[in-house]
Amino acid sequence: MNRKKLVIILVAAILIALFFYFDLERYLTLESLKANRDALTVYYQENRLATVASFIAIYIVQTALSLPGATVLTLASGAIFGSVMGTIYVNIGATTGAVLAFLAARYLFHDAVQNKLGTRLEKINSELEKAGFNYLLSLRLVPIFPFFLINLASGLTKVPLRAFFLATMIGIIPGSFVYCNAGASLATINSVGGIASPRVLGSFALLGLFSLVPVFYKKIKHRQDAGR
């Protein structure tokens, strides 16, 4: 591994270590958000541009370094900026951070993984190059796998950056809106886990399945053509 890669890994490790050393996670709790909402709202009214820029920057760092707290940050966005604008700011921060994590994983570990498991990954890489957008969109819509894990795992494959970017940007909109909308009514929330009801999760699952329809259609059509 060359010096540049080692420097990137070292810087990321230091930032993550500092986050936990100073226990910054204590600020990313529902209780802390409720206690500070009024102060944050007043600050936003007096410093709109600075608040938006700071929020997006924090979200980018949190996502790029795969730190905890994304759910509370999304609730905070809804509480401070409102459902619609909050969703937009979350989308910008989360998508940018995800792309940075994707690029870091690809730059640091992609070649090593491909060299070691190249033959085993040929079929997966081929499928992702052709339909990576649909697969990623489905994963983004259905909250089964952790957000950060998808970012890092995608960087180790040959899924195109454009497909990753578009699938992330589009796929996180429904979930972001649900949490931002909940954040706009922060006083009624007693627990983070109760926000995404089974009905909401079921709707996400259906959206995820619909995103895979073009993939299944192409496979079926290919088999039919091959059988003629």
Higher pLDDT, 87 or 202: 87
Domain map of the chain by residue range?
Answer: 3-227
Minimum mean pLDDT among 8-12, 79-83, 179-183, 210-214: which range?
210-214
Give me the torsion for CA of 145, 150, 151, 153, rounded to 10°.
Answer: 140
Summarised one tens digit per residue, pLDDT across range 1-29 is: 689 999 999 999 999 999 999 999 999 99
Residue 15's pLDDT is 96
CB atoms within 10 A of CB 225: 8
CB atoms within 10 A of CB 26: 9
Summarised one tens digit per residue, pLDDT across range 123-168 is: 777 877 888 899 999 989 887 789 999 999 999 888 999 999 999 9
Measured CA distances, 6 to 10, 17, 68, 86, 97 (Å): 6, 16, 24, 36, 20
Contact by Cβ (8 Å): 135, 128: yes
DSSP code, position 68: S
CB atoms within 10 A of CB 53: 12
Contact by Cβ (8 Å): 211, 138: yes
> Which of 128-156 are b and which e, b meaning 16 or more Cβ less than 10 Å from the residue's Cβ?
beebbbbbbbbbbbbbeeebbebbbbbbb
Angle between helices 198-211 and 173-183 (to 10 degrees): 160
* pTM of the predicted structure, to 2 decimals: 0.88
Contact by Cβ (8 Å): 157, 123: no
Write down the residue that tokens 């986050």 correspond to: 19
Residue 59's pLDDT is 98
Closest CA to 194 of 206, 205, 178, 210: 178
Q: What is the mean pLDDT of residues 39-45?
A: 96
Summarised one tens digit per residue, pLDDT across range 75-131 is: 999 999 999 999 999 999 999 999 999 999 999 998 888 788 766 777 777 877 888
